[in-house]
Amino acid sequence: MAGALHPLNPCRYDTSGVDAKGSDTTNGIVVGPKGRNLGAGPSFTVPPEDFVALDPGLIVVACCGFDIPRTKREMPALVENAWWKELRAVKEGNVWVVDGNQMFNRPGPRLVDALEWLVSVLYNIPEVCPPRFPAEKWE
């Protein structure tokens, strides 16, 4: 959710050269009163207590550089933590393992497929899911 309203990595803004009305004084483009959206900050390790405090209703595990079999081999490092079983998404069976390497972690047209898959899962609209999207529910 880089650049979106994300509780763990909020969007950063650059207000230099932006007037009170939200116009960029260097080229006249309206950018909003907060300034230019610089996106989220760099990646970082989220402490488990911060993650647990959010109690997400959906968890998507899309590891950079890993396909689904490799991600599944790495899942014990996550799921063997005592706090994992207490998460709402885990209790409700709403944890997905996705081929992050292929679908989420590289720029390109597959990001559109990833977005469509997310919409299908978030809003329970299976017909918008791309055919053969590489995702599996974690049991």
10 vs 83: which has the higher pLDDT: 83
Q: What is the pLDDT of residues 37-87, one digit of tens each?
A: 556 666 778 889 988 998 999 999 999 889 999 999 999 999 999 999 999
Average pLDDT, the chain: 81
Q: Quick check: 57 and 92 in contact, CB under 8 A?
A: yes
The predicted structure's pLDDT at residue 40: 60
Sequence-ordered list of residues with C-beta below 8 angstroms from that of 131, at least 6 positions apart, any chain: none
Q: Is a pLDDT exceeding 60 seen at residue 28?
A: no
Beta strands in the chain (DSSP E): 11-14, 36-40, 59-61, 95-98, 135-137
User: What pLDDT, on a 0 to 100 scale, did the predictor assign at position 94?
Assistant: 96
| Alpha carbon distance 118, 40 (integer Å) | 20
Whole-number pLDDT of residue 11: 61
- Which of these ranges, 92-96, 104-108, 126-130, has the smallest mean pLDDT? 104-108
Per cent of the chain over pLDDT 90 is: 57
